[in-house]
Homo-oligomer: A and B are copies of this chain.
Amino acid sequence: MTTSISIFDTTLRDGTQGEGISLSADDKLKIAQKLDALGVHYIEGGNPGSNNKDIEFFQRVKGLNLQAKITAFGSTRRKFSLAEQDASLLRIAESGVPAATLVGKSWDFHVHTALQTTLEENLAMVYDSIAFLKQRGMEAMFDSEHFFDGYKNNPDYALAVLRKAQEAGADWLVLCDTNGGTLPGEIHEIVSRVRQEISAPIGIHTHNDCELAVANTLAAVQAGARQVQGTINGYGERCGNANLCSIIPNLQLKMNYDCLADDKLRALTGTARYVSEIANVSMPVGQAYVGNAAFAHKGGIHVSAIMKDSKTYEHIKPELVGNKQRILVSELAGQSNIISKAQELGLDINANNEKTKTIMDHIKDLEHKGYQFEGADASLELLLREAFGETKETIKVDSFKMLVESSKGNMMSEAIVKLNVDGHPVYTAAEGNGPVNALDNALRKALIPYYPKLEEIHLSDYKVRVFDEKDATAAKVRVLIESTNSVTTWSTVGVSSNVIEASWEALVDSLRYALLSMPKSSTTPADSLERIGLVNH
């Protein structure tokens, strides 16, 4: 018999307080659908009392008929005023959502310093505001701001605030570690104490200022909290909110609580990456459970052990959260990583092979020059296939030229490319809204007559990293390009002291990779494209 935990996602509200996070109403609607598909129980959409974007979100989200309860956020009424005349509370009631979360003070210091009112008036503000929502027939959650700091400073007052919210009919009392400064042992002790004093269901809302938000949430659940508030990827103010992408699998796979259906848990990695994409924030490569390196193996000894049994260096099966195992290539790895990567591709490679040593030396040499194949699987695959004579030289580059001109604020970018495509000389030019776009356009213009399927491919990400070459004053740049055909994505790398050259190299690799399985003629039967996922099936 497992205990159910209610998952409350506040990516769209508290998450947008994070530095560099800004979501349009469209973005929010897209993310809400993805969260709903993941199966979270509450989606906090925003604060209808604070801005028009959130009002638009609440209007439009109704049409999506989501399973999750959409909730609106606001504060308790202003001091010495009436809840039924509070503009912000009225906006919440009018937003048409079934549930709302109101934040109120529970730390006496904050009542005095931030609200600048009396402890009694704050209790009345909590009571009146929750009672107002309940009169309007809504589910009401009370976010008890700074609860743990408040409890440590004045436990009687902090508990009195919770009792007021409970008396007013709050459906959940959510204990917030707003400043993120509390330790797991303290959280466990205080939540246990609250559970002795208060009968309403308890929620937990933590922040990551001590890198303990996940542990604090787990400690609260162990002490009896039954709702968990957090965000996808831990987005949020300062060091972020508690990261649901770590909390959910910890609770479900390790502690036997029931959060999401098992098949939905498999959507976790996809959800995390989708939200990161929409929020336009790169995911840390080593993010727990859902990061690209969460199940990546680099050390040679580790790699040879996981080839025997993945349990040797993996704490769970990556598929349970929709992630997958990866073998990285690096100087540390010895030969085993490259060999297993080549074997993954079906190439005849083994440690005693002379060819293997040549490839290995070549890769080491490129790494020394600044190439990184960890993030550029497609470039590595091209290298390995070339070494085994498994590629055909489709594109041969003679030269390219790039002109960017700015005059009186008008910009012009033009690329001229001279190529040989399957033996045919092509000399063409194209414009673009920037130099990379112009080069991409010129390349495609040259290739599409021969390979019309390239129309389906586009750049989905472009990253530039400047690094210092040792023993030289010139900085080099590494460009990583991600391309997609909407079915699959692949990444390529280019390195140069010239950002245009590095981009060009990665662009050409990206198209060469896409062409790996395209037939030479201009007719492109769909079946031959399946292997690299260039067609839907």
Contacts and interface: CB of A to CB of B under 8 A. Distances in A.
Interface of A: 16-20, 22, 24, 26, 50-51, 75, 109-110, 113-114, 178-181, 183-185, 208-212, 214-215, 218-219, 222, 234, 236-240, 243, 246, 249-250, 254-255, 280, 284-289, 291-299, 301-302, 304-305, 308-309, 311-316, 328, 330-332, 367, 372, 374-375, 398-408, 411, 413, 433-437, 459, 461-467, 470, 474-475, 477, 496-501, 504
Given A20-B285, A330-B22, A467-B280, A210 B401 contact: no
A406 B407 CA distance: 24
Given A237-B297, A435-B404, A496-B434, A254 B218 contact: no
B501 A406 contact: yes
Contact of A280 (B285, B287, B436, B465): B465
Given A288-B208, A436-B499, A470-B24, A403 B406 contact: no
Contact of A464 (B295, B411, B464, B504): B464
CB-CB nearest 6 A-B residue pairs? A181-B315, A215-B215, A434-B498, A211-B246, A433-B497, A211-B288
Contacts of A465: 280
Nearest to A208: B288
A462 B461 CA distance: 17
A433 B296 contact: no
B332 A17 contact: yes
B299 A237 contact: yes
A294 B239 contact: yes
A187 B375 CA distance: 34
Say how many copies of this protein the assembly contains.
2
Given A212-B214, A215-B184, A367 B22 contact: yes
25 contacts: A17-B298, A19-B293, A24-B470, A109-B311, A110-B312, A178-B313, A179-B313, A184-B218, A208-B286, A209-B294, A210-B246, A211-B243, A234-B286, A237-B297, A238-B295, A238-B297, A239-B287, A240-B286, A284-B284, A399-B408, A404-B435, A433-B498, A434-B498, A462-B466, A463-B464
Given A113-B312, A208-B288, A465-B280, A298 B498 contact: no
Contacts of A297: 237-238
A300 to B, nearest CB: 8
A500 B404 contact: yes
A200 to B, nearest CB: 26
Contacts of A407: 398-399
